[in-house]
Amino acid sequence: DIVMTQTPLSSPVTLGQPASISCRSSQSLVHSDGNTYLSWLHQRPGQPPRLLIYKISNRFSGVPDRFSGSGAGTDFTLKISRVEAEDVGVYYCTQATQFPQYTFGQGTKLEIK
Amino acid sequence: EVQLVESGGGLIQPGGSLRLSCAASGFTVSTNIMIWLRQAPGRGLEWVSVIHRGGQTYYADSVEGRFTISRDNSMNTLYLQMNSLRDEDTAVYHCARITSNVGTDYWGQGTLVTVSS
């Protein structure tokens, strides 16, 4: 299975400041079809995860443009340009390149200082 | 509006069985890829089973031979039959829709399964 490793596991951030989360996969996420199936999910307390970013850098419907994704191969980053109160929760990277064997990072808890 | 609502969770003894349901609205289950995932405290997110629009099914090694995924097209509902339950199956179980080239775009709220004597 592809192992996904996130850093940091906890990120205290000041409102209005940027935040960044890294995700590294144990092997390349480039699929034989040329796509890289790396996504980011956000889970607020008591809520299910929701899709933020798919295929490295594509924002899902309704996701604010302060969220952006980047990376290639095995190294990926989620950035929030200016953190808002509603952004608290846990962020997960996930890969579907090895479908159906989805794997997830451990999660990064974003909290407000 | 796409909605997924899970039900059927509860407290069950080791070795017991449960059937989870995932009622869908706003789209057709049979023309989509559907997935069950679970989230256990301290163990993060884990995929459990997938059913492809063509009916092919896939299972994580940890549940192979014990769990069965299925769907009822007339009810637009996804199911997960869980047999021979173990303590380590304790988790919140979510169903989600998978859209090709996008991923798990809609998730249900989840249903809690607790396996304990």
Q: What is the pLDDT of residues A21-74, one digit of tens each?
A: 999 999 999 999 999 999 999 999 889 999 999 999 999 999 999 999 999 999
Residue A96, chain B, CB below 8 Å: the answer is yes
CA A91 to CA A37: how far, in whole Å?
17
Contact between A55 and A68 (Cβ < 8 Å): no
Instruction: Give me the residue from A48, A51, A101 closest to B105, CB to CB.
Output: A51
Residue A40, chain B, CB below 8 Å: the answer is no
Residue A14: strand, helix, or coil:
coil
Residue A87 confidence (pLDDT) above 90? yes
Instruction: Give me the residue from B35, B47, B107 closest to A50, CB to CB.
Output: B107
Distance from B84 to chain A by nearest Cα, in Å? 22
Task: Show the tokens assigned to A12.
Answer: 């205290």
Phi and psi torsions of A7, nearest 5°: -145, 140
**Residues of B with Cβ-Cβ distance to A41 under 8 angstroms:** 104
Q: Tell me the average pLDDT of chain B.
A: 95
Residue A69, chain B, CB below 8 Å: the answer is no
State mean pLDDT over B104-110.
95
Question: Using 50, 70 and 90 to split pLDDT, how confident is the model at B41?
Answer: confident
Task: Show the tokens assigned to A62.
Answer: 């309704």
Residue B101 confidence (pLDDT) above 90? no
CA distances from B110 to B5, B37, B75 (A): 7, 9, 19
State mean pLDDT over B50-72.
96
B-chain residue closest to A36, CA distance: B101
Tell me, what's the pLDDT at B43?
73
Decide if A60 and B105 are in contact by the 8 Å CB cutoff. Answer: yes
Residue A2, chain B, CB below 8 Å: the answer is no
Residue B44 confidence (pLDDT) above 90? no
State mean pLDDT over A78-87.
97
State mean pLDDT over B93-113.
95
Q: Is the peptide bond before A12 cis (omega within 30 degrees of 0)?
A: no
